[in-house]
Amino acid sequence: MRIVLASSEAVPFSKTGGLADVASALPKALALLGHEVVLITPYYPRILAAKNGSTPAIEPTGGEVSIRIAGRTVTARILRSSLPGSSVTVYLIDQPGYFDRPGLYVDGGQDFSDNCERFTFFSRAVLEAARVLNLQADIFHANDWQTGLVPALLKAEYQTQPGFAHAAAVFTIHNMAFQGQYWHWDMLLTGLDWKYFNWRQMEFFGNLNLLKTGIVFSDVITTVSPTYAREIQTSEFGCGLHGVLSSRRDDLVGILNGCDTEDWNPATDPLIPRNYDFQTVFEGKAVCKAHLQRQFGLPERASAPLIGSISRITSQKGFDLIVASAPRLAELDLQMVFLGTGDKAYEQKLQSLAASYPDKIAVCIGYDEALSHLIEAGADLYLMPSQFEPCGLNQMYSLIYGTPPIVRAVGGLADSVVDANEENLGQGIANGFTFYESDSEVLFRQVCRAMGLMLDRRTWAQLVRTGMERDWSWRRSAAQYVRTYDRALQKRAGGVE
Ligand code: ADP
Ligand code: GLC
């Protein structure tokens, strides 16, 4: 199958969150299954220049796209690269006016005022590049609101062109909370007919809604865990689009993300001071833990349970619960380390907690790939009490690194973490700690429960090894995507209704 995957961010070229991880790991896994995959993403020169670590070579193709937008014609060069260690070709859309900026979507806490125009341009560029390069795709796989117009443009404009007639559109929702909503006049930017601006298609309470557009025009919709696929059909999690999603429930599939197990493997990870596997986990983690404590300036105490967190510091990730329970947690014999950036109010709260409890709590505000690996390896427990979590990657990295997670049982957290209750422990399937109530007292009790279980060395070893043993790679999820693509093609051909 020929698949074009469109994403506004992709490792190792750009990243603000899990979407970038998925946009590069899924194509690689699909290529290993024998499919021809091309990734199309914007070229952000300033982000690349600021990045640590190597980037694959990027060269011009000589091709370009010219797009009518906002009353003018805007041109972009098409650059070519590849995903490291794979046969996946990457086309980067080089339009400096839109993408040569200090951030992907935001600068100094403010969304760029022309984001609708930038990603309308990018969505059009995906289809135009496919035409110019004669990609003959079977599937256009768009992701999140930034590429929500791709399915609509395919259906409304490109399907009549040679090379596009049989192509199907698949749209993946990584987060319902970001919908790309703009005022109605931005409909003009899309170049699509006003007839699509109605409550069944692109309009949402008077605004243009690009996430809704992606959902409505795709043959099949996926989201990144089975539980989230159910949750988003309810008013609690659907962010206003639960009705749209339930009306498409027969075309909505939840597929749990995998992990890039080459980057995230404690046995080979070059970013941690001692590699370890299933058998040597406790010796290895002891060395990593001491290193982590030194790095964060915490006392080097092997016996104090060390809890880690790497995250966008936002309410989605449960920071209201974390900061509310932290002072009580700090009274216990434990340590906590936080790495992340996000809402200034939570960042300040964490920093003042670190100042009040210097031997217990340490915070690094920033984005640091190497430190994130050290935390996964050196912590005893991982904390992720998200309000909602479409999939979540760090709980899976934690499981791979033998660091049982404490999570709220929502979305992908519910689909990957199995609670250490008696029944699950008895069956040998428990790998962490789950709770549901969004309550700081409950979170406090869960941490106490986890610390209690750490004292039972045999049970603890079983819990750690159960998490490490499971296959968290993309292999299985990629096979599910292939089945989904097949379904979309059948639907497009009129075989499924
Ligand atoms: P989301 O996309 O909602 O932020 P995910 O769990 O899917 O959450 O993915 C987050 C990704 O970003 C993970 O790969 C995580 O390791 C990484 N990450 C988040 N914050 C940081 C940080 N401050 N430093 C390094 N990596 C980070
Ligand atoms: C989003 C979600 C996160 C998910 C990621 C990749 O950013 O918040 O839960 O893991 O996308 O699918």
Q: What SS3 state is found at 486?
A: helix
Q: How far does the centroid of ligand 1 lie from the alpha carbon of residue 12, in Å?
A: 14
Segments of 343-438 assigned E as strands: 361-365, 381-384, 405-408, 433-435
Does the pLDDT value for residue 494 go beyond 60? Answer: yes
Distance separating alpha carbons of residues 486 and 171, to the nearest angstrom:
14
Q: How far does the centroid of ligand 2 lie from the alpha carbon of residue 292, in Å?
A: 26
Task: Express each pLDDT in 8-65 by its tens digit.
Answer: 999 999 999 999 999 999 999 999 999 999 999 999 999 999 887 788 999 999 999 9
Distance separating alpha carbons of residues 409 and 404, to the nearest angstrom:
14
Distance separating alpha carbons of residues 75 and 184, to the nearest angstrom:
25
Distance separating alpha carbons of residues 405 and 288, to the nearest angstrom:
17
Q: Phi and psi at residue 79, in whole multiples of 5°?
A: -100, 160
Task: Express each pLDDT in 144-181 by its tens digit.
Answer: 999 999 999 999 999 999 999 999 999 999 999 999 99
Q: What SS3 state is found at 162?
A: coil
393 lines ligand 1 (CB under 6 A): yes
- Across the chain, what does the average pLDDT equal? 97
In contact, 384 and 397? CB cutoff 8 Å: no
Number of residues that make up the chain: 497
Does the pLDDT value for residue 483 go beyond 60? Answer: yes
The percentage of residues in the chain with a pLDDT greater than 90, rounded to a whole number, is 96
Per-residue confidence at 495, pLDDT binned at 50, 70, 90? low
Can you tell me which residue has the tokens 């709590």? Answer: 361
In contact, 42 and 8? CB cutoff 8 Å: yes
Task: Express each pLDDT in 315-329 by its tens digit.
Answer: 999 999 999 999 999
Q: How far does the centroid of ligand 2 lie from the alpha carbon of residue 412, in Å?
A: 9
309 lines ligand 2 (CB under 6 A): no
Does the pLDDT value for residue 311 go beyond 80? Answer: yes
Q: Which ligand is nearest to the CA of 175?
A: 2
Distance separating alpha carbons of residues 27 and 4, to the nearest angstrom:
9
Q: Phi and psi at residue 152, in whole multiples of 5°?
A: -65, -45
The residue to mutate among 104, 393, 401, 415, having the most atoms of ligand 1 within 8 angstroms of its beta carbon, is 393
Q: Which ligand is nearest to the CA of 391?
A: 2
Q: Give the helix/strand (H/E) hosting 62.
A: strand 59-69
> Residue 496's pLDDT is what?
53
Closest among 2, 82, 86, 84 to 41, alpha carbons compared: 82
394 lines ligand 1 (CB under 6 A): yes
Spatial CB neighbours of 9, under 8 Å, sequence gap ≥ 6: 15, 16, 17, 19, 20, 23, 41, 104
Q: How far does the centroid of ligand 2 lie from the alpha carbon of residue 396, in Å?
A: 12
Q: How far does the centroid of ligand 2 lie from the alpha carbon of residue 18, in Å?
A: 5
Average pLDDT of span 419-432 = 98
Task: Express each pLDDT in 177-229 by its tens digit.
Answer: 999 999 999 999 999 999 999 999 999 999 999 999 999 999 999 999 999 99
157 lines ligand 1 (CB under 6 A): no
The residue to mutate among 144, 174, 260, 389, having the most atoms of ligand 2 within 8 angstroms of its beta carbon, is 174
Encode 129-139: b = buried (16+ Cβ within 10 Å), e = exposed: bbebbebebbb
> Residue 54's pLDDT is what?
80
Distance separating alpha carbons of residues 402 and 381, to the nearest angstrom:
9
Task: Express each pLDDT in 217-261 by its tens digit.
Answer: 999 999 999 999 999 999 999 999 999 999 999 999 999 999 999
Burial zone of 250 (CB within 10 Å; 0-12 exposed, 13-18 middle, 19+ buried): exposed
> Residue 497's pLDDT is what?
43
Q: Which ligand is nearest to the CA of 16?
A: 1
Can you tell me which residue has the tokens 């689909």? Answer: 415
The percentage of residues in the chain with a pLDDT greater than 70, rounded to a whole number, is 99
Task: Express each pLDDT in 271-302 by its tens digit.
Answer: 999 999 999 999 999 999 999 999 999 999 99
